[in-house]
Amino acid sequence: MINDGSTYFGPYTDGTYLYHLLKTLRSVFPLRSCDFPLSEQGIAEGRWKLCLDYHIKKCDGPCEGLVSAARYNEYIRQATQVLQGKTRELESQLHDRMMQLAEDLRFEDAEVVRQRLERLRAYTAKQKVLTSDRRDQDVFALARSEATACSLVLTIRDGKLVGKRHYIITGVQDRSDEEIMATTIERWYLESDSVPEQILLPIEIESAEVVAEYLRSRRGASVEITVPKIGDKRKIIALAEQNADILLKEILAQNAAKDQSISKAVLALQKDLRMDRLPRRIECVDNSHFQGTDYVSSIVVFADGKPKKSEYRHYKLRTLTGNDDFEAMKEVLSRRFADVDDHGQPRDVIIPDLLVIDGGKGQLSHAMEIITSLGLSGKLTVVGLAKRLEEVFVPQSSSPILMPKVSPSLRLLQQVRDEAHRFAVRYHRILRSKRTLQTELTTISGVGEKTATTLLTTLGSVDAVRKASREELAAVIGNSLAEKVYRHFHSVDGAS
């Protein structure tokens, strides 16, 4: 959600239900589909024109003032009732409106309301009725299996099931049911704007009174939190628990199938490189620099043949002077496989199954010297991928491995290499842009990084700042700073 003053509904996890809900709203209420910023002045000036929706009677034309603001806001209020599950009250309102129009002999208008009422009733007839007391309830449930849990919320409004949301939580072997349930309640009411009058829980939680007080302040009325042991309410919780258990089993089955499904490219790569184990984790190193400056390296990670971007890393090289790929590779591999982090803290080092070096035989030989010096020889497979002929080199062999250009294993290696290059170049450009910002703008007296960023964001580039007039600069940063920036660039231009 964005804190923009809007009212949010949901979340909706059933796409079919959401589609049916939106279709119902459009058929019952003549709401505009445009996003014109309507205003009384704009309507009076004829700033907007009617669209097709008006002519097919899906909109009452608020853009040309053909419906009053009060009437249109009433449509909005009624649509909100549907989104909140308050359809029973709305049905009564539409029925009364239809009868009143009929009494006033406005039969065509009464027929329009009757059609809307029938569509609304058709929608509510498809909703599952869970309780007969017509109360607003949120029903929580929990299912567990070893280190994974599934918590679930059923949203019941007017006695009907209008929504369902579940959370999959991992690493819960040391967490109690009460702790997981309390966490679920907190997450749910941070996401949801709607607070019901009753909350049904499968177990007691210590923070129940605190939660009830917080929700009471949000709802503006009392909120009952209860743990039913028998009766219809207990049956609803049992239904929710059954749903949570089914969802958890489905997720675990999907994860198991995912773990067992290895892409054909990974299997082909193991065969072509004659590896003892599957290359499920592949890493690739790439260096990037600009005429020996801003030397950086990147390491990208592929798991089971797919990018794992959360584990990408880039390195700004510290010890390198000049243009030396061997020294660059030595530093980045030493930092990558060091058993302590940059702050001297111990860390677990993950060894990849396959390390790809961007380069041919020479680069691979340098890499193997470093791998051996780090004590990693024999713990991982290292190959070099030469760009010119896309040849694959392995240690202790002067001839490349011949892989057809259409082979899935070569394509995977190329994808890994190209991704490492892209990631390194991206980081290199960021460093260059920062350096450009500092040298071109922040050297001007009185211009700090914040002002420089404002100029670049507004005008687009340093060149645009240089070409801007005093008036254009003043509109962005004020007269005083604008004069300094203008004099700086134009005095430089004049001298050159």
Q: What is the pLDDT of residues 321-371, one digit of tens each?
A: 666 777 888 888 888 888 766 666 676 788 999 999 888 888 888 889 888
What is the predicted pLDDT for the residue at 321? 61
Please provide the DSSP assignment of 367-419 as one string: HHHHHHHTT-BTTBEEEEEETTTTEEE-TT-SSPB---TT-HHHHHHHHHHHH
Distance CA 443, CA 242 (A): 66
- For helices 87-103 and 69-83, the axis angle rounded to 10 degrees is 140
356: Cβ contacts below 8 Å, ≥ 6 apart? 282, 283, 284, 285, 383, 384, 385, 413, 416, 417, 420
On the question of a common fold for 137-257 and 267-431, the answer reads: yes
Task: Please state, in angstroms and rounded to a whole number, the distance separating the CA atoms of residues 219 and 239.
Answer: 27
Ranges of residues in the chain with a pLDDT under 70 are 1-2, 10-14, 126-132, 257-262, 289-295, 319-323, 340-345, 347, 428, 430-440, 491-496
Query: What pLDDT score was predicted for residue 202?
Result: 93
Q: What pLDDT does residue 496 have?
A: 38
Q: How many CA atoms lie within 13 A of 6 on its CB side?
A: 6
The yes or no reply on domain 267-431 and CATH 3.30.420.340 is yes
- Measured between alpha carbons, how far is 310 from 302 in angstroms, rounded to an integer? 10
Q: Give 293's strand partners.
A: 290
Rg (CA), the chain: 33
Give the model confidence (pLDDT) of 197-246 as tens digits. 999 999 999 888 888 888 998 888 889 999 999 888 899 999 999 999 99
What is the predicted pLDDT for the residue at 293? 56
Q: Do the beta carbons of residue 348 and residue 340 sit within 8 Å? A: no
pTM: 0.44
Domain 441-495 of CATH type 1.10.150.20 = yes
Please give the biggest Cα pair distance in the chain.
97
In this structure, are residues 401 and 272 in contact, taking their beta carbons and an 8 Å threshold? yes
How do the domains of the chain map onto residue ranges?
Answer: 15-30+67-126, 137-257, 267-431, 441-495
**CA dist list (Å): 292 to 287, 296, 425, 434:** 11, 10, 14, 17
Site of tokens 């430089």: 492
pLDDT of residue 494: 42
Which CATH class name applies to 137-257? Answer: alpha beta
Rounded CA-CA distance 331/416 in Å is 21
- CA dist 155 and 166 (Å) reads 11
Give the β-pairing of 198-200 and 354-358: unpaired
pLDDT score for 484: 87
Q: Give the torsion through C-alpha atoms of 334, 337, 340, 346, to 10 deg.
A: -170
CB 286 within 8 A of CB 298: yes
Spatial neighbors of 417 by CB under 8 A, at least 6 apart, are 284, 286, 356, 358, 385, 387
Residues 330 and 474: their CA atoms lie apart, in Å, by 50
For residue 493, the surrounding DSSP H or E stretch is: helix 479-495
Nearest 5°: the CA angle 351, 170, 183 is 140
